[in-house]
Amino acid sequence: MARLIRILVASALLLPAGLRASAHEESEPGACRLIRGESTPEDLTDDVHVCRQDVWFHQADSKLGNAAALDQDDFPSFDNVKPDESVTTGAGGGYLGSSATHQNGEPFDPRLTATFDGTFTGDIDNLAVTMYMFNPPEDAQALPTFAINSRLIVDGEEIAVAGGAEVKRSPGGDAVFRIDFAFVNIYSTLEAFGLNGHDREHQIRFQVQGTGLGTEAALFVYDTSEVPSGLIFNIEPENLGNYTVAG
């Protein structure tokens, strides 16, 4: 395991200056749509609107996100400010993800599960995810999918889980890959917990790791203009086709 960590961290340090990013699935942040009440247009009291918000991950004080799991730093966060600094100027962070602790009976242990904390205000219908990563094992380079364990926690409740899901994987730039997946039907689950509300501020925790010790070990990278990993709350249904529905 120590050797794997050295390989992944070394990969991050060798990030080419010419790294190119793939586009975040951007539309009109703030665009709202009706998800409940369409069948009763004369009754506005049952209407539920959700509004799109694009957010991006940002490092905490430490470049290595895993430091937070050792009580050495806060977890990386997210907000609606898109990274505009380049890795060539020293920007960016990374979080080593591996299923080693997961397989040892400690699911989603943040020591080896990329963990991001933030807030979102309003109702949530779905969540689209784009993560950039180094995935060095040679037998992983040509794979069209990447197997993940991932979950979404809202206000302390586990709302969506993907266990061993094979998600879309594509080149994300020189030596970097990206995965794109989504959680859907979130509103109904939040409703069951009594957590909905158009003006409610939710505490959000998003976590992801690869499921295998070999081909799915990865260093997730974020917070630069080249690797703008992030989330889209309430992406338009017509744009979900660009993502693997994982949970």
Q: What is the pLDDT along the chain (247 residues), one digit of tens a residue?
A: 444 444 344 444 444 433 444 444 444 557 899 998 777 877 667 789 999 999 999 999 999 999 999 998 999 999 999 999 999 999 999 999 988 777 777 889 999 999 999 999 999 999 999 999 998 666 566 778 899 999 999 999 999 999 999 999 998 887 799 999 999 999 999 999 999 999 999 999 999 999 875 557 889 999 999 999 999 999 999 999 999 999 8
pLDDT of residue 28: 57
- 54 beta partners: 232
What structural domains and CATH numbers belong to the chain?
A: 2-245 (2.60.120)
pLDDT of residue 114: 97
Half-sphere exposure of 237 (CA within 13 A, CB side): 6
pLDDT of residue 225: 96
Residues 6+ apart with CB under 8 A from 163: 149
| C-alpha span between 216 and 204 (Å, rounded) | 25
| C-alpha span between 140 and 150 (Å, rounded) | 19
Residues 6+ apart with CB under 8 A from 179: 129, 130, 131, 133, 146, 148, 167, 168, 169
